[in-house]
Amino acid sequence: MAAVDIIDAEVRGIIRREGIDPVAQRDVVQKIVADVITSYGEQALVRSLPALGDQAEITRTLVDNIAGYGPLQRYFDDPEVEEIWINEPSRVFVARRGISELTTTILTQEEVEALVERMLKSSGRRVDLSNPFVDALLPDGSRLHVVIPDITARYWAVNIRKFVVRAASLDDLVSLGTLNRQAATFLDACVVAGLNILVSGGTQAGKTTLLNCLLAAVPAQQRVLTCEEVFELKPPLPDVLAMQTRQPSLEGTGEITLRRLVKETLRKRPDRVVVGEVRQEEAFDLLLVLSSGKPGMCTLHASSAREAIRKLCLLPLLASGNISSGFVVPTVASCVDVVVHADIGNDGRRRVTEIVAVPGRYEGDVIELEPIFTRHDDELARADGYPPHPAKFERAGIHLPSVLDGELHGVS
């Protein structure tokens, strides 16, 4: 037996005897490992024991295996890594600032399954043949998604989107170059005025980060309700009620869908309703909430602002065969005020590429849009459009022309 195996067994025995939670008490585990390694070194002076080797490397390996996620823990600890995914045990990838790379980490299928089981333990969610997909939130805020055979051909497919906080406000996005000061000031004014904002973009374009930054501009006295698949939004506000979906039980009962959460929001006295991501028929219920006069925000996968509006006109049709575009199109035109579209470039940088207004006009199934800011030559520049509902800006004490002209914020 190798030295690391002997030490591992002793450390795990101590943890069991003392009732230590290794994930929650990682620092305690690290001290126990250090003490056991020191004791092992002392015993090796008088007994014939396997060579110890590099103590720092053994300490890191043991702590990662016992209190972390084993061979993947180094990527969790690396602040440059944004996402980790496993296509098969021998092919582990990471993304650093939007650029993907194949790592040298090689796992076994048993190790992958054990890691997933450990990650799911704290979430109360499961993955099995009856439920081959799972979304879960890890204790550090990272988001886990797993798919297993026979949905995948042979191996478990694992994606971990780390919770990397690089921006918590619109000012932070300006510092990162995601948008300029003029556009940030305008979006801040839209949030304060209570406009309904749709954030669109592709995968990894920074939609959730952008939505979190918009939420930071919500007036502190407002009550915000958030609805998500798993908790990702973190509004820095005193009055927030966050809700997430729930998987069905082993008996197939007890499921809580995103649509159900959105339906329940109006019973909880919201000042503002936020949906983490609209994917399916919950779009219909969100439109009903917005049409009631409650301001809201959401994200949606789309390749442009125009496509986002088109998609938002199609998704509500999934809710019922009795719903027609004759209802949905005018409702979208009247409920959505501003679309903010984000994209990720080949260099891994995330940028807002356009901000458009939805003035409420439509013809047939086509909703009119007015560009407010568009990106040209890597610069986000003011276009000719104006947002709807100027009276809302006035009531909030905002001088809209000053905001659009790039002058001071204008909030009194």
Q: Which residues does 329 contact at the CB level (< 8 Å), separation at least 6?
A: 313, 362, 364, 365, 367
Q: Is residue 409 part of a domain?
A: no
Tell me what the pLDDT averaged over the chain comes to.
93
Please identify, among 126, 161, 196, the residue that sits at the C-terminal boundary of a domain. 161
The pLDDT confidence band at residue 121, using thresholds 50, 70 and 90, is confident
pLDDT at 54: 86
Write down the pLDDT at residue 225: 98
pLDDT of residue 368: 97
Q: What is the DSSP string of 163-229?
A: ---S-SSHHHHHHHTSS-HHHHHHHHHHHHHT--EEEEE-TTSSHHHHHHHHHTTS-TTS-EEEEES
User: 44 and 183 share a domain?
Assistant: no
Lowest mean pLDDT among 68-77, 80-89, 244-253: 244-253
Q: Give me the pLDDT at residue 49, please.
A: 86
Residue 256 CB burial class (10 angstroms; 0-12, 13-18, ≥19) = middle
Q: Which domain holds residue 199?
A: 170-404
User: Alpha-carbon distance 228 to 226, whole Å?
Assistant: 7
Q: Is the pLDDT of residue 347 over 50?
A: yes
Mean of the pLDDT values across residues 44-61? 87
CA 390 to chain centre: 32
- Which amino acid type is present at position 385? G
Examine residue 296 and state whether it is found in any structural domain, yes or no.
Answer: yes
Residue 362 shares a structural domain with residue 240: yes
Average pLDDT over residues 189-195: 97
For residues 81 and 156, membership in a common domain is answered with yes
Same domain, yes or no: 262 and 142: no
| Cβ–Cβ < 8 Å for 55, 171 | no
Contact 119/108 with Cβ under 8 angstroms? no
C-alpha 107/C-alpha 72 separation (Å) is 10
- Do 234 and 122 belong to one domain? no
Instruction: Tell whether 185 and 297 lie within a shared domain.
Output: yes
Residues 121 and 264 in one domain: no
Question: What pLDDT digit, counting tens, does each position of 318-340 carry?
Answer: 998 899 999 999 999 999 999 99
CATH number of residue 303's parent domain: 3.40.50.300
pLDDT tens for each residue of 261-288: 999 999 999 999 999 999 999 999 999 9
In a domain, 90, yes or no: yes
Residue 411 lies in a domain: no
Does one domain contain both 242 and 358?
yes
H/E run at residue 363: strand 362-363
Instruction: Assign residue 117 the CATH number of its domain.
Output: 3.30.450.90
pLDDT category of residue 200 using cuts at 50, 70 and 90: very high
Q: Which among 39, 68, 97 is the end of a domain?
A: 68
Give pLDDT, residue 289. Answer: 95
Band of the pLDDT at 411, cuts 50, 70, 90? very low
Question: Is position 42 within any domain?
Answer: yes
Q: How many structural domains does the chain have?
A: 3
Q: Does residue 336 share a domain with residue 209? A: yes
State whether 314 and 240 are in the same domain: yes
Residue 249 lies in a domain: yes
- Percent helix, strand, coil in the chain, to 5, is 40, 20, 40
Among residues 143, 161, 179, the one where a domain terminates is 161
Residue 392 lies in a domain: yes
245 is a domain residue:
yes
In this structure, the answer to whether residues 155 and 186 fall within a common structural domain is no
Clarify whether residues 180 and 294 are in a common domain: yes
